[in-house]
Chains A and B, each alone.
Chain A
Amino acid sequence: MIEVTSLSKTYGAKRAVNDISFTVDSGSVTGFLGPNGAGKSTTMRLILGLENPDTGTATVDGLPLAAHASPLRAVGALLDAKAVAPYRSARNHLRMLARTHRIPDSRVDEVIALTGLESVARKSAREFSLGMGQRLGIATALLGDPETLILDEPVNGLDPDGVIWVRELVKGFASEGRTVFLSSHLMSEMALTADRVIVIGRGQILADTTIDALVAGASGASVRVRSPQAAHLATILDAHDGSVAISGSDLLHIRGLDAAQVGEHAAAHGIVLHELATTGSNLESAYMELTAEAVEYRSDARPAGGAA
Chain B
Amino acid sequence: MTLGTNTGSATEPRSSFGSVVAGEWFKLRTMRSTLWLIAVFVVLTAAMGATSSAGGDAPTQDDLAARLTAGLSLTLVFPAVLGVVAATSEWSTGLVRVSLVATPRRAWWVMAKAIVVGVVAIVATVCALALTIILSMFRYSGTDLAIDLTSPGTLAVLFGAPAFVAIMTVLSLAVGVLMRHSGGAVAASVGLLIVLPMVMGIFGLPVLVEILPTNAGLALMAQPAPFTPAVAIMLTLLWAAAPLGAGIWALQRRGA
- Which of under 10, 10 to 19, 20 to 34, or 35 or more describes the interface residues of B? 35 or more
**A51-B256, A52-B253 known; A73+B4 contact, CB < 8 A:** no
Give min CB distance, A33 to chain B, whole Å.
22
Point out the residue from A45, A73, A95, A145 that lies within 8 Å of B3, measured CB to CB.
Answer: A145
Point out the residue from A82, A87, A88, A106 that lies within 8 Å of B94, measured CB to CB.
Answer: A82
- A290 located at the interface, meaning its Cβ lies under 8 Å from any Cβ of chain B in the complex: no
- Which residues of B have CB within 8 Å of A75? 101
Contact with B along A46-89 (1 / 0, CB 8 A): 00111110000000000011101111110101011011111110
Q: Which residue of A lies closest to B96 (CB)?
A: A83
- A100 located at the interface, meaning its Cβ lies under 8 Å from any Cβ of chain B in the complex: yes
Q: Which residue of B lies closest to A114 (CB)?
A: B4
Point out the residue from A64, A84, A145 that lies within 8 Å of B4, measured CB to CB.
Answer: A145
In angstroms, Cα B203 to Cα A52, docked, is: 45
B104 and A71: CB pair below 8 A? Answer: yes
B94 and A83: CB pair below 8 A? Answer: yes
Task: State which of A169-177, A266-274, A298-306 sits at the interface with chain B.
Answer: A169-177
In angstroms, Cα B77 to Cα A129, docked, is: 36
Give min CB distance, B189 to chain A, whole Å.
21
Task: State which of B19-27, B62-70, B152-160 sits at the interface with chain A.
Answer: B19-27
- Which residues of B have CB within 8 Å of A176? 3, 5
Those of A263-294 within 8 Å (CB) of chain B: none
Those of B81-106 within 8 Å (CB) of chain A: 89, 93-98, 100-105
B104 and A85: CB pair below 8 A? Answer: no
Point out the residue from B26, B89, B102 that lies within 8 Å of A71, measured CB to CB.
Answer: B102
A102 and B14: CB pair below 8 A? Answer: yes
Q: Which residue of A lies closest to B105 (CB)?
A: A66
B102 and A111: CB pair below 8 A? Answer: no
**A84-B93, A169-B1 known; A140+B98 contact, CB < 8 A:** yes
- A99 located at the interface, meaning its Cβ lies under 8 Å from any Cβ of chain B in the complex: yes
Those of B14-72 within 8 Å (CB) of chain A: 14-15, 19-20, 22-23, 25-27, 30-32
B14 and A96: CB pair below 8 A? Answer: no
A65 and B104: CB pair below 8 A? Answer: yes
- Which residues of B have CB within 8 Å of A49? 100-101, 104
- B206 located at the interface, meaning its Cβ lies under 8 Å from any Cβ of chain A in the complex: no
In angstroms, Cα B6 to Cα A172, docked, is: 14
- Which residues of A have CB within 8 Å of B224? none
- B12 located at the interface, meaning its Cβ lies under 8 Å from any Cβ of chain A in the complex: yes
**A65-B104, A71-B102, A73-B12 known; A50+B4 contact, CB < 8 A:** no
Give min CB distance, B15 to chain A, whole Å.
5
- B142 located at the interface, meaning its Cβ lies under 8 Å from any Cβ of chain A in the complex: no
B14 and A70: CB pair below 8 A? Answer: yes
**A71-B15, A96-B30, A106-B10 known; A83+B255 contact, CB < 8 A:** no
A106 and B9: CB pair below 8 A? Answer: yes
- Which residues of A have CB within 8 Å of B11? 102, 104
- B204 located at the interface, meaning its Cβ lies under 8 Å from any Cβ of chain A in the complex: no
A96 and B26: CB pair below 8 A? Answer: yes
Contact with B along A140-163 (1 / 0, CB 8 A): 101011000000000000000000
Closest 10 CB pairs of A and B: A100-B23, A66-B104, A101-B13, A83-B94, A99-B23, A51-B255, A87-B32, A110-B4, A50-B256, A85-B93
Other contacts beyond A50-B97, A72-B101, A107-B10: 19, CB < 8 A:
A65-B101, A70-B14, A71-B104, A73-B12, A75-B101, A83-B95, A97-B23, A100-B15, A100-B22, A101-B102, A102-B19, A102-B22, A106-B10, A144-B102, A145-B3, A145-B4, A145-B5, A145-B10, A169-B3
Q: Identify the A interface with B (CB < 8 A).
A: 45, 48-52, 64-66, 68-73, 75, 77, 79-80, 82-88, 92, 95-104, 106-107, 110-111, 114, 140, 142, 144-145, 168-169, 172-173, 176
